[in-house]
Amino acid sequence: EAQVTQNPRYLITVTGKKLTVTCSQNMNHEYMSWYRQDPGLGLRQIYYSMNVEVTDKGDVPEGYKVSRKEKRNFPLILESPSPNQTSLYFCASKGSSANYGYTFGSGTRLTVV
Amino acid sequence: DQQVKQNSPSLSVQEGRISILNCDYTNSMFDYFLWYKKYPAEGPTFLISISSIKDKNEDGRFTVFLNKSAKHLSLHIVPSQPGDSAVYFCAASGFNNNDMRFGAGTRLTVKP
């Protein structure tokens, strides 16, 4: 089944403790992206990647890092999480056609206390 | 700076009637506009898209209309079904879709 898999689904952590949210896709998509969803703000793009070793900042990249060492994986790294990073995070991927949107994962709900 | 706006947080319609969800944007450089549907505890799923060179795209019960002069698009669902109850996000992007911007979403409730 074609899908984007992100882990964990739920995570509670403490301020300053480094964490990684993993994302993997099995559709051989070139493009991958991370979004966060917050009430009243919709989905905001954190980082995106156009292919292996090619990444760029989205609208809200501060406090996040990403890497794309393999085509299928696009982990999101929070080096020193803070409470304002408490949010619902989505990883997404898409092929090269401009007509079709991203395929999203099921989301990771992160709480930073 | 929200470049894509959905000004109605919620909409309630009766089963069988038409649902109209609206979206406004500010960036005239957007090339593609998309609608996503999101159920609770799931990621958004792609519903329908339209290129900036068109003014209408239809897929079954779903039709998207684009008015470039007004920087406005709408999603029509006819007839509405209870299973359509979800949050609908409007999105817009440049040609390559990488920098996709989303609106805040509209929660649609279709009553039986």
Average pLDDT over residues B28-45: 93
B43:A41 CB<8 A? no
A94:B97 CB<8 A? yes
Beta bridge partners of B57: B64
Q: What is the pLDDT of residues A37-92, one digit of tens each?
A: 998 888 999 999 999 999 999 999 999 999 999 999 999 999 999 999 999 999 99
Q: Which one of B97, B99, B101, B106 makes the best mutation probe of the A interface by having the most chain A beta carbons within 10 Å?
A: B97
Distance between A112 CA and the closest CA of chain B, angstroms: 20
The residue among B84, B77, B74, B78 whose CA lies nearest residue B110 is B84
- By mean pLDDT, which of A1-10, B72-81, B96-105 is the weakest? B96-105
- Please state, in angstroms and rounded to a whole number, the distance separating the CA atoms of residues B6 and A41: 10
Single-letter amino acid, residue A46: I
SS (H, E, C) chain A: CCCEEEECCEEEECCCCCEEEEEEECCCCCEEEEEEEECCCEEEEEEEEEECCEEEECCCCCCCEECCCCCCECCEEECCCCHHHCEEEEEEEECCCCCCCCEECCCEEEEEC
Task: Check: CB of residue A48 under 8 Å from CB of residue A33.
Answer: yes
pLDDT confidence band for A97 (50 / 70 / 90): confident
Phi and psi angles of residue A101, each rounded to the nearest 5 degrees, phi first: -85, -175
The residue among B111, B41, B55, B54 whose CA lies nearest residue A109 is B41
Phi and psi angles of residue A83, each rounded to the nearest 5 degrees, phi first: -55, -30
Is the pLDDT at A30 greater than 80? The verdict is: yes
